[in-house]
Amino acid sequence: MKNILVVGSTGQIGSELTMKLRREIPQSTVVAGYIPGAEPKGELLESGPSAIADVRDAAGLAEIVTRYKIDTIYNLAALLSAVAERKPLLAWDIQMNGLLNILEIAREKGVAVFTPSSIGSFGPETPHVGTPQDTIQRPRSMYGVTKVATELLSDYYFHKYGVDTRSVRFPGLISYTTLPGGGTTDYAVEVYYSAVKGEEFTCPIAPGTYMDMMYMPDALHAAMMLMEADPSRLKHRNSFNIASMSFEPEQIFAKIREYIPSLQVRYEVDPVRQAIATSWPDSMDDSCAREEWDWKPTFDMDSMTVDMIKNLRLKLGIQ
Ligand code: SER
């Protein structure tokens, strides 16, 4: 029996992770945590319990953890990088004060916690090609600052109190279910929508800017796999580099044009996102994740593109 709380269950990752957990651990109770204004709908609402879970409300969180005898929390509440630059204090409040609330409850009640980090935890001085697991992390965005602090705080609670904290550094995530909200890597999702709809795409990231990216099924698999991993094999905890593909805008556009040759693109580079993107790795080395918990991705750029186009056509009702 597992009793799991997904905080941020209606977001880009949470909406798919909650359903996958419910499907793949059928004997579990998976509570879809949400904030007012982002209520679960449809299958997410109907397939299991849901509860208001605002990371800034410690008493409310503790009540859910007690009521459902929660043993694992996937803490997916976060403002993405470009939004966090506009609202740095709110990003700090959600990502740091919120995390502390979760870790304190985890310490008191013996709960395991997954709080993702990101390629955003790296900065301009980080080696950009084959970015090692353990390297310089001096990000200059508020998103990055909170992600480095998330890694440190999560490790602190493990070493000091024995809280079972584990996490990965997600690349930019590409999916067709729920749109990301205000990240630097969002262009790689939005271009698929434009391509399928037959609309011109305006790209905010300059050609030649490489970033790690990953298809959502691999990202979800990584999170669940790490939380199930044998702890005696883990030399690292917070957080593991994971990688599957790295590309710059022209490469993903060329790949999409193999299937939708009419895709039109123009560039209108956003200086905020571009500065963030330039400071992030071009490609991460994920050998520690491969060694310590057998991480291996399934999708590459081609298989992802075929699947994205097929599913977006179905979703948007476009042939
Ligand atoms: N996708 C995130 C962003 O662009 C990075 O983890 O903000």
* pTM of this structure: 0.97
Is residue 43 pLDDT above 90, yes or no? yes
Q: Are 80 and 141 in contact (CB under 8 A)?
A: no
Residue 132 forms part of a structural domain? yes
Cα(143) to centroid of ligand 1, in Å?
Answer: 8
Residue 289 forms part of a structural domain? no
Task: Write down the catalytic residue from 34, 74, 143, 215.
Answer: 143
The atom of ligand 1 lying closest to the CA of 171 is 6
Mutation probe of ligand 1 site: the residue of 117, 143, 167, 279 with most atoms within 8 A of C-beta? 143
Q: Tell me, what CATH number does 89's domain have?
A: 3.40.50.720
* Integer Cα distance of 202 and 268 in angstroms: 6
**Is residue 154 domain-shared with residue 231, that is, in the same domain?**
yes
Cα(145) to centroid of ligand 1, in Å?
Answer: 13
> What is the domain range of residue 121?
3-171+216-241
> Which among 214, 229, 252 is positioned nearest to 167, based on CA atoms?
229
Q: Which residues pair with 265 in a beta bridge?
A: 201
119 lines ligand 1 (CB under 6 A): yes
**Is residue 152 domain-shared with residue 204, that is, in the same domain?**
no
* Integer Cα distance of 4 and 171 in angstroms: 24
Is residue 26 pLDDT above 90, yes or no? no
**Is residue 202 domain-shared with residue 102, that is, in the same domain?**
no
Please enumerate in sequence order all residues whose Cβ is within 8 A of that of 108, keeping only pairs 6 or more positions apart, or say none.
Answer: 62
Question: Rounded to whole angstroms, what are the CA distances from 249 to 202, 211, 245, 281?
Answer: 11, 9, 13, 15
Q: Are 154 and 169 in contact (CB under 8 A)?
A: no
Give the count of domains, the chain.
2
Cα(248) to centroid of ligand 1, in Å?
Answer: 15
**pLDDT mean over 135-143:** 97
* Integer Cα distance of 95 and 115 in angstroms: 10
**Is residue 50 domain-shared with residue 147, that is, in the same domain?**
yes
Could you report the per-residue pLDDT of 199-209, keeping only the tens digit for each? 999 999 999 99
The atom of ligand 1 lying closest to the CA of 173 is 1
**pLDDT mean over 9-15:** 96
Is residue 275 pLDDT above 90, yes or no? yes
The atom of ligand 1 lying closest to the CA of 172 is 1
**Is residue 180 domain-shared with residue 83, that is, in the same domain?**
no
pLDDT, residue 193, reads: 98
**Is residue 259 domain-shared with residue 305, that is, in the same domain?**
yes
Please enumerate in sequence order all residues whose Cβ is within 8 A of that of 37, keeping only pairs 6 or more positions apart, or say none.
Answer: none
Could you report the per-residue pLDDT of 302-312, keeping only the tens digit for each? 999 999 999 99
Residue 288 forms part of a structural domain? no
Q: Which run of H or E residues covers position 21?
A: helix 14-24
| Residue closest by Cα to atom 3 of ligand 1 | 183
95 lines ligand 1 (CB under 6 A): no
Residue with tokens 């969180």: 61
143 is catalytic: yes
Is residue 319 pLDDT above 90, yes or no? no
- Beta strand residue intervals within 65-210, DSSP E: 72-75, 112-114, 117-118, 129-131, 165-166, 168-170, 172-174, 201-203
297 lines ligand 1 (CB under 6 A): no
Could you report the per-residue pLDDT of 87-104, keeping only the tens digit for each? 999 999 999 999 999 999
pLDDT, residue 233, reads: 98
Both structure tokens of 87: 């609202």
Both structure tokens of 29: 């109770």
Choice among 24-28, 92-96, 117-121, 286-290 with the minimum mean pLDDT: 24-28
Residue 108 forms part of a structural domain? yes
172 lines ligand 1 (CB under 6 A): yes
* Integer Cα distance of 243 and 170 in angstroms: 8
Both structure tokens of 116: 């993702």
16-55 in b/e form (b: 16+ CB < 10 A) is bbbbbbbeebeebbbbbbbbeeeebeeebeeebebbebbb
**Is residue 107 domain-shared with residue 148, that is, in the same domain?**
yes
Cα(316) to centroid of ligand 1, in Å?
Answer: 25
**Is residue 144 domain-shared with residue 188, that is, in the same domain?**
no
